[in-house]
Amino acid sequence: MYHVVAATTNPAKIKAITLAFEDIFGAEAFRIEGVDVDSGVPNQPIGSNETRTGARHRVIGARQVRPEADFWVGVEAGIEDNMTFAWMVIENMHQRGESRSASLMLPEIILQGINQGSELGDEMEKLTGIAEVKRKGGAIGVFTAGKLTRTSVYHQALVLALAPFHNSVYQVRTQTH
């Protein structure tokens, strides 16, 4: 059974990781442990590079906390231009898989708060009155009337990030002459 360490304690992210690992490896093939680690980037990452760096740093932190695990998974949400999205980073002892989620255009009222240094989650709480909205459906759930959620969008990207771990074409081969 694989020991999967999620570099988060956010239930929406852990559910997405669980669903992706179930899809690829089967429901009985792993157990997930969430750990609280620092992203090494601001609480509201801006831009693709900063967001991807946050996901990678979460994996590094998870590996330090649980070096005996089989997989480490980092998920970092960010803002780029007028959109929210997330980077997924998955590592085992031999390789890394990465993917970027779909993006959601944010309304100007939310972007104004973010541009003043606020986090998306805080702005969404102000707008909706939903406490800890980022631990639930997130802005994605709110703005798609629940048709998509943070979990469902991250799930898809995590399945993509898992591709190198179950497709032999990704395996590094050395040629002998």
Q: Is 9 annotated as a binding residue?
A: yes
Q: Is 69 annotated as a binding residue?
A: yes
SS (H, E, C) 40-77: CCCCCCECHHHHHHHHHHHHHHHHHHCCCCCEEEEEEE
- Rounded Cα distance between 113 and 124, Å, is 10
Q: Is 45 annotated as a binding residue?
A: no
Q: Is 11 annotated as a binding residue?
A: yes
SS (H, E, C) 83-141: EEEEEEEEECCCCEEEEECCCEECCHHHHHHHHCCCCHHHHHHHHHCCCCHHHCCHHHH
Q: Is 139 annotated as a binding residue?
A: no
How far, in Å, are 49, 69, 165 from residue 171 at the CA level?
Answer: 26, 20, 8
**Amino acid at site 137:** G
Q: Is 10 annotated as a binding residue?
A: yes
Q: Is 68 annotated as a binding residue?
A: yes
Which residues are documented as binding site for Mg(2+)?
Answer: 38, 68
Which residues are documented as binding site for substrate?
Answer: 8-13, 68-69
Which residues are documented as binding site?
Answer: 8-13, 38, 68-69
